[in-house]
Amino acid sequence: MSNAYEAAYRRSLENPESFWGEAARHIHWEKTWDKVLDDTRKPLYRWFPGAVCNTAYNALDRHVEAGRDAWPALIYDSPVTDTIETYTYKELRDAVALFAGALARLGVEKGDRVVIYMPMVPETAIAMLACARLGAVHSVVFGGFAPRELATRIDDAKPKVIVSASCGIEIRRIVRYKPLLDEAIEIARHKPERCVILQRPMETASLKEGRDLEWNQALPGAKPHPCVPVAATDPLYILYTSGITGAPKGVVRDNGGHMVALDWTMRAVYGMEPGDVFWAASDVGWVVGHSYIVYAPLLAGCATVLYEGKPVGTPDAGAFWRVISQHNVKALFTAPTAFRAIKREDPNARFLELYNMPNFKYLFLAGERTDPDTLAWAQNHLKVPVIDHWWQTETGWAIAANCMGLHVFPVKPGSPAKPVPGWNVRVLDPDGLPVPPGQTGAIAVKLPLPPGALPTLWQNDEGYIRSYLTQFPDYYTTGDAGYMDEDGYVYVMARTDDIINVAGHRLSTGAMEEILSSHPDVAECAVVGVADTLKGEVPLGFLVLKAGVRRPGAEIEKEVVQMVRDRIGPVAAFKTAMVVARLPKTRSGKILRGTMKKIADNVEYKMPATIDDPEILKEIEESLVSIGYSTARKD
């Protein structure tokens, strides 16, 4: 007997137009589509051509008009400023309409671009939704991003206006945004006409006369702006990613397909209903923040939590439990690295005992593979389903997940479960042929991609095809490697460039990381392949120990080496593991394995623009030198 998931998945592949056409009925359209899927320009597919809509209307106005005006829409929780504010749907709609009017007074029109370089404050979401209201295209750049990286995005998007703030706050450190923005504009060839600056109480930025305008000065005299009708295929936003070739690419998200997909996922994947409280503990500078802090919860009529804080240190390892308890959160979506940080600081979850969380039903993890040890820790302490799911900036929503709103499958540690309806996932060999279950290969998705996935790159159709659609014709290349088992579960083991070749044997660093993370004293780990004159490559492990571990690090290093030997075998040539204080990560929590490999290989590298703390790389260099590696560095 088939279940709801199997029926939905089969229908989404066999008759995608019927499946997504039905899902689209939950969205308000000024004009319905001429056809659901336009396949006349393969491989450049478009969803809902001919339809007219507005994303901000669907996220806000239609709920107000349906009598949900007093429902909570956005909950701002900032432990770093000791602030909690709640916007109802009407209050958020009115704030968005007014700021849209302010942008319109500055000359922003349908199709113009607006770069948003902001911290985690309500004004960031307001600016995004205001752009959507005007039919303008926003491009959010993570606040505090390096000036040169910001400049490349300014030159590509060519914004008419930039919206920024005087500063962001990283626990107890103030990050001054305005000098970074000024330097980026100085570097960039394209110059914005105006900059709107939110002055925060803890830092007052200096303004450039004639170009810069304070947020509060932009609002007086502005009139609330109505929603501007746009084509479903018009771009909603550009989000820049390094992609699979390392060069920043402007991932485009359209209006129509994006709304349909995200609205559907809130019910089908996350099990949410209107009025529920959803919390994505991410940042609006990343795709998770776009999809599941701002757009999806509001499209679905939920309340969304916008959190300006960390999993630990603001003030302690109980920060997440406090937010869930205080705001009646039903589902939390965060990165595995956040839970590894909590687990490291509070291995016995003592802080959890201080909070009552009766409404908490689901924990969703994504961003990196969820190692089985972290999965088990969360399951044992939270007593709710812990759902590992897998997706990418390019896809905009989950490729594989345990869909809570359709059918709950048994959890298999190490797997994000099965492909979500709409995603025709295959595992291919180098010739593009399917491999048998259990065999590792390149994970790809058969075209067309479902609604909500990138239809192209910003003004670069050729680059889109070259980067994602060329390696395997008629497939989207995810850049991830892994396998599917006999039950159809997907296992994402590594990026394709993280499959290392040890004396002719292709081995997954992700499989080795699973073994290392299962050691009872290991909080976090990373394995990279480093150059070896004899074997080509050999694996090198980095270990971060749990708080309170008193055993000598050398003992633990020997134990994990033996564990890999026992479980994978001598073929892995895993002989070196080293304890380090911390791992280098991006601000979104992803471990910078590629940079660590370059350091170990004595290859010059550029300081990653998204790195959370550059000092960690110096520590890694020193640790490698201490065991005989020579390192190279290029800022």
Token look-up 């060999």 returns 429
What pLDDT was estimated at residue 363? Answer: 98
Give the integer Cα–Cα distance in Å for 68 and 618.
52
Phi first, then psi, for residue 443 (nearest 5°) are -85, 125
Give the integer Cα–Cα distance in Å for 231 and 50.
7
* 510-564 tens-digit pLDDT: 888 889 999 999 999 999 999 887 777 899 999 999 988 989 999 999 999 999 9
Of residues 67 and 591, more confidence is placed in 67
Give the integer Cα–Cα distance in Å for 433 and 461.
26
Distance of alpha carbon 456 from the chain centroid:
18
Q: How confident is the model at residue 500 (pLDDT cuts 50, 70, 90)?
A: confident
Token pair recorded at residue 340? 């590894």
- Tell me the sheet residues that pair with 169: 174
What pLDDT was estimated at residue 504? Answer: 59
Q: How confident is the model at residue 627 (pLDDT cuts 50, 70, 90)?
A: confident
Q: What percent of the chain shows pLDDT beyond 70?
A: 97
* 68-93 tens-digit pLDDT: 999 999 999 999 999 999 999 999 99
Residue 634 has pLDDT above 60, yes or no: no
Residue 199 has pLDDT above 50, yes or no: yes
What pLDDT was estimated at residue 244? Answer: 40
Phi first, then psi, for residue 300 (nearest 5°) are -90, 0
Give the integer Cα–Cα distance in Å for 632 and 16.
51
Domains of the chain, earliest start first:
503-626 (3.30.300.30)
Helix pair 16-23, 256-268: axis angle to 10 deg? 80
What pLDDT was estimated at residue 247? Answer: 56
Of residues 354 and 1, more confidence is placed in 354
* 604-621 tens-digit pLDDT: 887 777 777 788 888 888
Burial of 488 by CB count in 10 Å (0-12 exposed, 13-18 middle, 19+ buried)? middle
H/E run at residue 72: strand 72-78
- DSSP secondary structure of 425-487: EEEE-TTSPBPPTT--EEEEEESSPPTTS--SBTT-HHHHIIIIISSSTTEEEEEEEEEE-TT
pLDDT, average across residues 44-73: 98
Give the integer Cα–Cα distance in Å for 413 and 448.
30
What pLDDT was estimated at residue 585? Answer: 86
CA distances from 148 to 164, 187, 608 (A): 16, 7, 11
Find, among 125, 120, 148, the residue nearest to 138 by Cα: 125
Token look-up 């180098």 returns 430
What pLDDT was estimated at residue 29? Answer: 98
CA distances from 252 to 239, 258, 274, 367, 453 (A): 7, 10, 28, 20, 9
* 576-579 and 536-545 strand pairing: parallel
H/E run at residue 182: helix 177-187
Residue 440 has pLDDT above 50, yes or no: yes
* 451-490 tens-digit pLDDT: 999 999 999 999 999 999 999 999 999 999 999 999 999 9
- DSSP secondary structure of 368-419: S---HHHHHHHHHHH-S-EEE-B--TTTSS-SEE--TTT-PPPP-TT---EE
Average pLDDT, the chain: 93
Phi first, then psi, for residue 38 (nearest 5°) are -100, 110
* 250-298 tens-digit pLDDT: 999 999 999 999 999 999 999 999 999 999 999 999 899 999 999 999 9
pTM of the shown model: 0.85
Token pair recorded at residue 76? 């701002």
Answer for the pair 138, 159: CB distance below 8 angstroms, yes or no: no
Token pair recorded at residue 240? 């820049």
3-state secondary structure of 175: strand
CA distances from 612 to 335, 344, 588, 617, 625 (A): 15, 18, 8, 10, 23
Answer for the pair 446, 424: CB distance below 8 angstroms, yes or no: yes
* 469 Cβ contact partners less than 8 Å away, ≥ 6 residues apart: 43, 447, 475, 476, 477
Find, among 113, 169, 125, 171, the residue nearest to 143 by Cα: 169
Number of neighbours of residue 72 by Cβ within 10 angstroms: 20
What pLDDT was estimated at residue 194? Answer: 98
Answer for the pair 304, 291: CB distance below 8 angstroms, yes or no: no
pLDDT, average across residues 312-341: 95
Of residues 260 and 341, more confidence is placed in 260
What pLDDT was estimated at residue 503? Answer: 63
Report whether the peptide linkage leading into residue 297 is cis, meaning its omega lies within 30 degrees of zero: no
Token pair recorded at residue 172? 């107890």
- State the Cα torsion 373-375-379-382 to the nearest 10°: 100
Give the integer Cα–Cα distance in Å for 143 and 150.
10
Give the integer Cα–Cα distance in Å for 61 and 65.
6
CA distances from 286 to 108, 118, 590 (A): 24, 12, 12
